[in-house]
Structure 1
Amino acid sequence: MNLLRKLLFPFAILYGLITSIRNFLFDKGILKSYSFDLPIIAVGNLSVGGTGKTPQIEYLIRLLSDKYKIATLSRGYKRQSEGFILADASSNAAILGDEPFQFYQKFKNIKVAVDANRKNGIEQLLSQSNKPEVILLDDAFQHRKVKAGFYILLTSYGDLYSDDFILPTGNLRESRSGAQRANIIIVTKCPTSLSLDAQNEVKKKLYLSKNQELYFTYIDYDDCIYSEDKKIKVGEIKSLDKVLIAGIAKPDPFFDYIKKENDICLSFPDHHNFTDKDILEIKNLAQNSLIITTEKDYVRLKGSLTSEQLFYIPIKSSFVSGSENFDKVILNYILNN
């Protein structure tokens, strides 16, 4: 923790008090939460950014979309639009935000919507002629005006909420006690061979209640990179000169997976909107080399760099163990609601 964050400790106490009072008012029904007559699954975290919400939402889409009519609802972080928008052929990353646009491009059989007002967003989705049967709320753990039927809380293996503190001293949006609202807690970005002893050590730190289940996942990188119309095996490009670009919260695993020693690695802030100056810098550095980026950044860079040069590598969330039980819990929740 740096000196400035330590100096801001009194503000963290004040912020924590405000969020605790807010949660108390919602818990007691003094502030109203709205429920809806269909299964709603909220995926979120206690900390700001970088816990792997997007691959977890995509896991749920893959699990459910062949069985139910699915919609995702996000706020559309950093989008250049307002209000409720339902994705269609005219949509892009600027209108929807990068992650919802990624959902829309990858999964053609679901509805993708954005609205900062989740209650209004759900009402708009349910007013559609072909309304969804299940709604996945993206990054909505603190959005308590809507009461989801099922909550999945994510926390990163290397940055557990139990080891963190409230903003601005730490990175928590609310007190650690907020984790008690979760039905399932998933520790993300784990080593692929995480031992049972290590899992039990984490479990002790998180102080789960009796009705909560704990799972561990890791980021699984594809073995190919993709452009608009081509794919290449990662093994074939490892030795080539490349420019690697990441506008995500924690880019090191992406760089480490695909880089060689002399590759150029450009790191930008999470959800970065690439400027003309950024694009020119990338072109000058790359010349004729491959440019490889994350899937989330690709939807914002596509069209600004040539399709012959620009590639991305997909990721997905995979379970260290227990995926069958996780699937069963989710499917049972939907079946019973």
Structure 2
Amino acid sequence: MKQKLHLWIEDYLFFPNTLQKIISFLLLPLTFIYMLIILTKRAMAKPIEFGIPIISVGNIIVGGSGKTPVTIKLASKYENACVILRGYGRASKGLYVVSLNGKILEDVKTSGDEAMLLANSLPKATIIVCENRIKAILKAKELGCKIIFLDDGFSKYQISKFNILLRPKDEPTNIFCLPSGGYREPKGFYAQANIELLEGMDFKRVISIKKDANICDLPVKTLLITAISKPKRLLEYLPKDIKMISFPDHYTFTKDDILKIQNEYKNYAFVTTGKDFVKLKEFDMTNLYLMDLDIKIDEKVDFSLMEEYIESFKKGVEND
């Protein structure tokens, strides 16, 4: 029932049927209020300059669009990099240094799934989770970081930063902001990006199936287990008739969840995403396969503006 409910909500937000469109229109008065608040916040914000390059990798729709893997791809190219994120789904509150120059200091319950995936994927970087991004930026500077990546930082108008916005391969047919649709910001805000990356053209997802870090094929009888936003998007990378069990985004799996699935799907192998894997591996599932995701950025994408932005801070230090 829960699986059907969150899939229904995601269809409503992005690709609504006739009934869902009617509900969407009925909620438009609330959407106008929401948009007024967003526009007021943006108009009144006075961006703070922190004296360190800050690259925001974000989107303007609800849920995943590749922010974390793109952040990993970009941050891996820089020394003394720090990635800052809120840490959705974590059991903790406040500021935590999840990893320091590659040394992991916290567990996945404290960090949240995305932060732990970042920590595992960036063996030289520092990862910080905090609801207050300004507090986290100051902590990163205190730790000696030289460049900061904000995972999902576009809406942090009070922070002076370089904005990269990711655009989905399949644009939602529902163009409204919350709660009438799946946009967190008006669609016109794509124009506010310093760089806009369109999935399928500017970057592509490359999926490899792995077992114990080795590339392999999936068994015929395999079940997809995931707790990411818009889980149906995973199906294009998997065998046509694969079964799927999905949970709400950032869901914390329990032992009972896994036992129930294993009892219902005996003799099945299981496959999951990197974000889910950091949580599922604690259950010692011997037949668990990983959808290892890499991002391939088209060589024609021009990052010269971003490099100029980063270099401007180095020149500032030299002039001081």
**Bucket of the pairwise TM-score, normalised by the shorter protein:** 0.7 to 0.9
Counterpart Cα distance in 2 of 1:59 and 1:90 = 22
Question: Who is 1:81 aligned against?
Answer: 92
Aligned CA RMSD, in angstroms, stands at 2.0
* 1:134 alignment counterpart: 147
Runs of 4+ aligned residues of structure 1 deviating over 6 Å after TM superposition are: none
Q: 1:314 to 1:154 in 2, by over 3 A?
A: same
Matching residue of 2:236? 256
1:243 paired to 2:215? no
- Counterpart in 2 of 1:36? 50
Q: Within 1, Cα distance between the matches of 2:298 and 2:151? A: 23
Question: What are the Cα deviations for residues 79-103 of structure 1, in whole angstroms up to 9, with x where unaligned?
Answer: 1111110014441221111111101
User: In the alignment, which residue of structure 2 is the partner of 1:318?
Assistant: 296
2:214 to 219, 225, 231: 231
CA distance in 1, matches of 2:290, 2:255: 20
| Alpha-carbon separation, structure 2, partners of 1:170 and 1:254 | 22
- Sequence identity percentage: 29
Structure-2 separation of matches of 1:291 and 1:120: 40
Residue 51 in 1 paired to residue 69 in 2? no
- The gaps in structure 2 that reach 5 residues or longer are 1-15, 314-320
Q: Following the alignment from structure 1 to structure 2, what is the Cα–Cα distance between the partners of residues 331 and 293?
A: 35
TM superposition shift of 1:105: 1.2
Aligned counterparts of 1:311 and 1:90: Cα–Cα separation in 2? 26
State the TM-score, normalized to the length of structure 1. 0.80
Cα pair 1:58 1:316 within 8 Å, conserved: no
Residue identity matched to 2:96: I
**Deviation of 1:322 (Å):** 1.1
1:143 aligns with 2:156: yes
For the Cα contact (< 8 Å) 1:292–1:310, is it kept in 2? yes
CA-CA distance at 1:246 after TM superposition: 1.9
Q: Does 1:113 align with 2:123?
A: no
Contact 1:279 1:305 (C-alpha < 8 Å) held by counterparts: no
Contact between 1:241 and 1:290, CA under 8 Å: does it hold in 2?
yes
Are 1:221 and 1:313, in contact at CA under 8 Å, matched by a contact in 2?
yes
Which of 207, 212, 215 is residue 221 of structure 1 equivalent to?
207
Taking structure 2 as the reference length, the TM-score comes to: 0.84
Which amino acid is the alignment partner of residue 183 of structure 1?
N
Structure 1: how far apart are the matches of 2:166 and 2:96?
A: 26
Unaligned runs of 5+ in 1: 27-31, 195-215
> Is the Cα contact below 8 Å between 1:34 and 1:119 reproduced in 2?
no
